[in-house]
Amino acid sequence: MAKFLPLAHAVAENLRDGDKVAFEGFTHLIPTAAAHEAIRQGFRNLTLIRMTPDLIYDQMVGMGMAKKLVFSYAGNPGVGLLRRVRDAVENGFPNALEIEEHSHAAMANAYEAGAAGLPCAVFRGYRGAELAKVNPNIKPITCPFTGEQLAAVPAVRPDVTFIHAQKANRRGDVLVEGIIGIQKEAVLAAKRAVVTVEEVVEDFDGLHPNLTILPRWTISAISIVPGGSHPSYAHGCYARDNAAYLEWDEIGADRDRFRAWMEENVMRAKPEDFAARVEGLRAGASLRSVA
């Protein structure tokens, strides 16, 4: 049952060294504030799971928190490569990083299977693709009616999932809107789930009955962190900070510059700092009105 907690408490209560953890968000609503809090608390030996590891996983890998990365696209979206992830994979810096690599279709299906309580996902995938040869977690499975050979991957079941959302109501139900990505599945597949939100509203009365809502009993903790997905965006609240993504390409490229940036912007910062970071981006928030 969702408890409203300060972010530091929510992270401390729900994340542990050695956990399999997903900080999910598909370009939109990336839970940056939660990831920065996890970095400040210095967790170790994490298995980081995400379809699209971007800046926050580059940061966590660069800070030596990860032993393994499960992913399908490790890039700086629209910009290029993730320099810290590259340094770990290519040079073992700051530590060797085991990788389990999938396609988007496989990861999406694996989260879906996790949410659905299944041990594996079955889909038509990886045909002719070499990942099936280097990843032992991709296996064939045969349709018992047609004989067609399909692909199977294990369900993704994180110990804990972190997401960012636009709104919670006072009871603790959470509303996600716009590009909803894989967040619902990531929460339902996990043992525990922590949600940072832009704001808390009295209730969701008057909203459309078919919106993407996570009932309060699917969530462990909610923290109110306005701006908490910067430099990503929150549909209807503030726009994506594309400049920050471009800038990261340079920051991440250099080990020392990376460390200095992290020290200043993460280690010495607080969840409350996120609100100011999006102040100038609020005018550029999506035009299409969201209830």
Q: Which residues would be at the binding site for a copy of itself (CB under 8 A)?
A: 116-120, 122-124, 137, 139-141, 143-146, 148, 150, 152, 154, 177-178, 180, 206, 208-212, 235, 288-291
Closer to other proteins by Cβ: residue 43 or 266: 266
| Residue 5, number of CB atoms within 10 A of its CB | 18
Closer to other proteins by Cβ: residue 12 or 249: 249
CB of 175 to a copy of itself, least distance (A): 10
SS3 content of the chain, % helix, strand, coil (to 5): 30, 25, 45
CB of 225 to other proteins, least distance (A): 14
| CA atoms of 220 and 216, how far apart (whole Å) | 8
Closer to other proteins by Cβ: residue 43 or 204: 204
Partner whose binding site includes residue 215, from other proteins, a copy of itself, none (CB under 5 to 8 Å by kind): other proteins
Partner whose binding site includes residue 94, from other proteins, a copy of itself, none (CB under 5 to 8 Å by kind): none
CB of 262 to other proteins, least distance (A): 17
CB of 209 to a copy of itself, least distance (A): 6
Task: Check if the beta carbon of residue 151 is closer than 8 Å to that of residue 141.
Answer: yes
In the list 86, 120, 154, 269, the residue contacting other proteins (rule: CB under 8 A) is 86
Beta bridge mates, 121: 153
| CA atoms of 164 and 174, how far apart (whole Å) | 10
Q: Does 240 bind other proteins (CB under 8 A)?
A: yes
Task: Check if the beta carbon of residue 216 is closer than 8 Å to that of residue 255.
Answer: no
Residue 66 tokens read as 């990860």
244 phi and psi, to 5 degrees?
-65, -35
